[in-house]
Amino acid sequence: MSRIVVKIGSSSLTSSEGGLNREKVRFFAGELTKLQSAGNQVLLVTSGAVAAGFTSIGYAARPKALHEKQASAAVGQALLMQAYNEAFQENGIPAAQILLTRSDFSNRKRGLNAVNTLEELLHRGVMPVINENDTVSVDELKFGDNDTLSALVANLVKAHKLAIITDMDGLYTDDPRKNADAVRIDRVDHIGDELFQFAGGAGSSVGTGGMRSKIEAARIATRGGVPVFIGRVTEPGDLQLAVDENGKGTYFSTSLHNLPMKKQWVGFHSYSHGTVTVDQGAERALLSGGKSLLPAGVTGLNGDFHPGDVVEVANAEGAVIGRGIINYASWQLQAVAGLTTEEVQKRVEVHRIEVIHRDEWVSLKD
């Protein structure tokens, strides 16, 4: 039995002007039912609440202000679940609404509660329909068109596969709608910086995520050991083909990655309490040398953090290179940044001399 997370974006569920397309919802419900009937455990991560709701409220176009988007989501989520409930009932499957925020992943107890609920639903043959709780989310903690949400869910439930359904048939070397010479990338074994250069912005006016956010989601999922498909599902049987690695899209391998759960939490689920900036020597030691971060390599910091908090680590250019559990309070690190180990021991008392120990460090650079 395989456990499969399927993410469907707004553009696949709505018309180009916005508003829910119930025929599309029925189609995807049928495809998901086939997967479940084949003996798989299936979880659906869906977008579409804002897109489904803004026309009902009376907005001429998808709103940009946070309170307008949240109002649209409040209306649209009810419409979305009504459509899914009716569609799955036609296939003899009960559906359950699960609304999550980033905080549900950063808090380990809440994350465990979410897992227990999802496990029970799957055991009972219920289709979990998961969405971001847009009505209470704030911009700085949002997932980004639910691509990141689907990756975090896949890791959380230890899925065997993640299928991200979009209106493009995979990742191309350039936008195929603008460049006839663009070539589709069928398989990715390494997600490096050059891959993100192929990605642009949002593909439609009713969605918020583009290929860039989907590549980022693939990076998160594969680091947790979950292989990923990104592509198009438009005909009956396409979703099964996608799961069977014969789909219309790009496949991301997990052959180079598989983080333990604690490091998944540090790298992707946890809330960052600040940023520590390091010099080039420390960057090399962290990324290539398998070393811990020492105070001598720290050039700056921001945020108010305490020992045991998770912080981001940035290089001299300001790019985030990883995350880790800090052993210093922010005021302590401010006092000893750039100093040798001997000088640090004279100035502050800390449990461990390392700013971030290599066992509690996760690189975000492949």
Residue holding tokens 């990605």?
A: 199
Dist. CA 207–CA 151, nearest whole Å: 18
Digit-coded pLDDT (tens) for 15-30? 877 688 999 999 999 9
Edge-first strand listing for the sheet containing 298-303: 298-303, 272-278, 310-314, 320-325, 361-363
Distance CA 268, CA 276 (A): 17
Amino acid symbol at 135: T
Residue 258 pLDDT class (50, 70, 90 cuts): low
DSSP code of residue 100: E
Residue 228 — very low, low, confident or very high, per pLDDT cuts 50/70/90? very high
Beta-strand relationship, 228-232 and 161-165: parallel
Q: How far is CA 31 from each of CA 11, 130, 241, 260, rounded to the nearest angstrom?
A: 17, 17, 11, 32
**Better-scored residue on pLDDT, 141 or 91:** 91
DSSP state of 65: S
Question: What pLDDT is attached to residue 243?
Answer: 96
The pairing of beta strand 320-325 with beta strand 361-363: antiparallel
Mean pLDDT of the chain: 89
Question: Within 13 Å of residue 272, how many CA atoms lie on the same side as its CB?
Answer: 19
Which residues touch 206 (CB under 8 Å, ≥6 apart)? 10, 11, 14, 15, 16, 17, 18, 51, 62
What confidence category does residue 208 fall into, taking pLDDT thresholds of 50, 70 and 90?
A: very low
CA distances, 157 to each of 104, 116, 160, 161, 216 (Å): 14, 9, 9, 11, 19
- At residue 113, what are phi and psi to the nearest 5 degrees? -60, -40
Question: What is the signed CA dihedral for 137, 143, 147, 149, rounded to 10 degrees?
Answer: -70
- Is the domain spanning 3-261 CATH 3.90.76.10? The answer is no
34-43 per-position pLDDT tens digit: 999 999 999 9
Cα→Cα distances 307→116, 129, 311, 314, Å: 30, 37, 10, 19
| Nearest-10 crossing angle of helices 108-123, 147-156 | 80
Give the rounded distance of the alpha carbon of 94 from its chain centre.
26
Give pLDDT, residue 143. Answer: 66
pLDDT (mean) for 48-67: 86
Per domain, the residue ranges of the chain are: 3-261, 271-363
Share of the chain above pLDDT 70, in %: 92
Check residue 205 and give its pLDDT: 39
According to the model, what pLDDT value does residue 195 have? 83
Alpha helices in the chain (DSSP H): 22-37, 49-57, 66-90, 103-106, 108-123, 147-156, 193-197, 211-223, 238-243, 261-264, 280-287, 330-336, 341-347
Tokens in use for 57? 């409220």
Question: Lowest-pLDDT range, 136-140, 210-214, 289-293, 354-358?
Answer: 136-140
Q: Which amino acid is at 329?
A: A
Q: Which amino acid is at 313?
A: V
Which CATH number applies to 271-363?
2.30.130.10
Instruction: Assign 343 a pLDDT band (cuts: 50, 70, 90).
Output: very high
Residue 220 scores a pLDDT above 50 = yes
- Which single residue is written with the structure tokens 């790298």? 267
Give the separation between CA 192 and CA 109, rounded to whole angstroms: 33
pLDDT of res. 257: 58
Q: Which one has a higher pLDDT value, 87 or 55?
A: 87
pLDDT for 139 equals 55
Residue 360 pLDDT exceeds 90:
yes
Residue-level pLDDT at 144: 62
86-100, 212-226, 259-273, 288-302: range with lowest mean pLDDT: 259-273
Q: 243-254: per-residue pLDDT in tens? A: 999 999 999 998
pLDDT tier at 137 (50, 70, 90 boundaries)?
A: low
HSE-CB at 52 with a 13 A cutoff on CA atoms is 26
Confidence band of 4 (pLDDT split at 50, 70, 90): very high
The helices-and-strands tally (H runs, E runs) of the chain is: 13, 15
If pLDDT is split at 50, 70 and 90, which confidence band does 138 have? low
